[in-house]
Structure 1
Amino acid sequence: GQSVAIRTTKRPNDGETYQNTGIAICGFDGPATSSSNMCTTGIYGVKWLQRNLSNGDSQLFRSTQPWIDIRYAEILLARAEAAVELAQNGVTSYSNTDMLEDAMACINKVRERAGADLVKSTAELADMTVPTNKRGTGKNSMIFAPTKGLQIVRVERYKELAVEHKLYWDLRRWFTADTQIREFRWRMLAPYLFASTAVVDAETGIPHGKYIFDTRVADSYGGEHSFDSKYYYEGIPDSERKVNPLLEQNDRY
């Protein structure tokens, strides 16, 4: 998803022409809002893509790229979340394993690999205080949780699993989507490369150099969004309701 455009202009003083190379690293048309070749966020995630496909093969259902759906870090975070939930609901140990100690060990394995500060005490995870900071008012204010201890685990998922298509489903299973996604506008981080000083790698064709990052509202996502609480539940198929007429349809339907 990169393009190189050569533009010829004239100097205002002596009329001499020179070439200015512009490189759109964040999409064929850059971080646009209306082009068919736009990149809506300004950044492409190439982690799962086959970058050597020809244009003819880069079509829907044509890729055979292996897809890693669950990484070990997610397994650790799922275990940590379950352990904190159990501990805060009275199950302090299971099979001779202290739940909070186990949760702290799992979180710290993820943090240690990333070079982040470690959780220093299980008291942080045992904290049953209800978070009071409202959305957009400071650190962790975008991640809702019933307790500060559980909020630590949820924040960890936000950081570790970013852009891995997990967080929307986390919000649904936590039943916080209707409050977190309320009058919400998507934002984008648009990277711009200083083309005049960029150096293109001869082997990969990828330019390297200095960037500026412009954070803005992503207008291509259509303004404000809200999640209605009725979308927490899927509808019961009519075929099943015919088999059992006592089944009541979920509120969504």
Structure 2
Amino acid sequence: MITPKSSQKDYASKGVKKYGDMALIYGAIHSPVFQEIFKGSDNMLFLLVKQWLHFVIASIAYSMSAVFRYRFGVQSCGIVLSLTTLTFACIFNTIHIISIQKPFAIFMLPFVLYGRTPDEFYQWIVIDIYSERLLLFMLVVAALSVIHVTVAYVGGGHSDVSKRGVSWIYTILVWMFSKLRWIKINPFFIGCVIEPAIVIGCGVAIWTYWQDTYFAIWCWMMGGCELWQQLVDKSTSLHQQSILRA
């Protein structure tokens, strides 16, 4: 329950799973998925697919968050998530993997890349691609990820370890309207509406003016995945508040 010395923020709960390096280690030890696998449970396949979808959504959304946000919590970003995000983008962008295989191609990478020379590997991810703009965008994401992960691990990350970054747009708007107390900036509105709308709008512009279909689709996926994560977090938070207020 909420006591006079506490607040609802003390009990804030986020519904989106965390995929920082430490969170992944903890999940690997305590996740019910592995228990179900060893038990041979009928729910094993469902749990695996569910966990995989969560991870894919988080990875794609991170490629957007890395650009729009700073000061990530240590549980919400990490080396594994960054590398996986870049790998998903490379798989999506290369012409050597057919579309129907792309969602699951990461499982086949050890076999696909086995025996490949560095030149062949470079050819796959840099030369034989659908979108040069998507490649450049992911290079930006890679550079920003190095900064985000480094800041988080040296202790400069957000005090809320599960925070998926602080929005640049939110910070700028708060600074601009700091003198106007009657204007309240809603971080949920920024994260759930403004940021996804910008990215989806960029995808429409990229598709319309440059006919860059793959980069446009990636933008739409980023916006959609981030929107989904924001809605899951908000619904979980409201559910927790309803319980605490009961």
* TM-score, reference length from structure 2: 0.25
* TM-score, reference length from structure 1: 0.24
Larger radius of gyration: 1
**Structure 1 or 2: more helix by fraction:** 2
Greater RCO (CA < 8 Å, at least 6 residues apart): 2
